[in-house]
Amino acid sequence: MTRHLAITMGDPAGIGPEILVKAAHRLKHRIAAGDLKLLVIGSVPALRRAEGALGAAPIPEIAQESDWPNLACLQADAEGAPIEPGQLSADGGRFAFKAIERAVRLALDQRIGGIVTAPLNKEALNLAGYHYAGHTEMLADLTGVRGSVMMLAHGGMRVSHVTTHVALEDVPKRLTPERLRRVIDLTHKALKGLGLAQPRIAVAALNPHAGEGGLFGRQDIDVSAPVIATAVADGLDVVGPVPGDTVFVKLRAGQYDAVVAMYHDQGHIPVKLLGFEVDPTTGQWMELSGVNITLGLPIIRTSVDHGTAFDIAGRGIANERSLIEAIEYAERLAASAAATQRSAA
């Protein structure tokens, strides 16, 4: 039986409401057939505003305890002052947090198959009193997990991260054998969940030229290389450290199924560079493809790979492609998790 995926709205002042409405329209035939079930969680008034602007039929609102139609919406928290598109506010951050909090509770209670998140605004989140660096850290806290891992995916470009939202000067000390092995193991597990029978993983070097024999730092030699050797001895297909200026070219060429990046920008830049489609005439980006997947949680969570885009919120021009891809990834991971549970029963 197909369970609902929760789609959290993120900050209602961003493009979340709009891309939710557009995605539901694009997926309406699958939803009508019961092949896909979605539960939108957030600010219902913000959703209604987006539906009105786009001329879409309203998504039915339900109570948590009621039977859910294939497509439904759930109010995350009490409304305050109206949340205006493109306007930073504490209420926008409050709704972003409350939607996640409610979705996590439903996921832990196994009432939904996973969570797909629309973007939040970190400044608004902190204005509301929720001091997290982003979704990944919030979800780890709400599920009681230490050491979750961010993976970005765009087509065959899959990149997981040893560190994410930390200062660059702090990265070397966070590259520990324990952390690197956890990222490798979770990456391997995720790739298996996505249907890759024999995942091939490359570990990116932290330093230029993988340290050049120690001339440019010893972390790749003293930390990464021994961990990789142990993983190989344990039966995993892992190579590295591969210099950062070539590892992503090889990933794009299909030599690996994923790369373990050392820090935020090392992993994000190549994926986003390929994910953005830019109009060469205007210089404006037209479309963004890519998915953010949180590994190591007791629940499934995928997300769009873009921000709230306050500058275009409410204008009807936001693109829903990344959200649809995030839904598809969540479906695949949920189906794999369900199959594993059935085989273990």
pLDDT of residue 219: 95
* 60 CB-near residues (< 8 Å, 6+ apart): 69, 71, 72, 73
N-terminal to C-terminal alpha carbon distance within the chain: 16
In the chain, where the domains are located: 5-147+297-344, 152-272
CATH homologous superfamily, domain 5-147+297-344: Isopropylmalate Dehydrogenase (3.40.718.10)
Amino acid at 263: Y
Q: Is 23 left (phi over 0), alpha (psi -120 to 50) or beta?
A: alpha
Q: What separation in angstroms does the CA of 316 have from each of 53, 173, 200, 279, 311?
A: 7, 45, 41, 18, 12
Which residue, 38, 31, 32, is CA-closest to 5?
38
Provide the residue-wise pLDDT of the chain in tens; the chain has 345 residues. 678 999 999 999 999 999 999 999 999 999 999 999 999 999 999 999 999 999 999 999 998 667 899 999 999 999 988 899 999 999 999 999 999 999 999 999 999 999 999 999 999 999 999 998 888 889 999 999 988 899 999 888 999 999 998 999 999 999 999 999 999 999 999 999 999 999 999 999 999 998 889 889 899 999 999 999 999 999 999 999 999 999 999 999 999 999 999 999 999 999 988 876 666 777 665 556 679 999 999 999 999 988 898 998 999 988 899 999 999 999 999 988 877 777 766
Burial of 66: CB neighbours in 10 Å, binned 0-12, 13-18, 19+: exposed
What is the dotted CATH code of the domain comprising 152-272?
A: 3.40.718.10
Tell me whether domains 5-147+297-344 and 152-272 share a fold. Answer: yes
For 132, the token pair is 């997290």
* 195 CB-near residues (< 8 Å, 6+ apart): 332, 336
pLDDT of residue 274: 83
pLDDT of residue 4: 93
Half-sphere exposure of 52 (CA within 13 A, CB side): 7
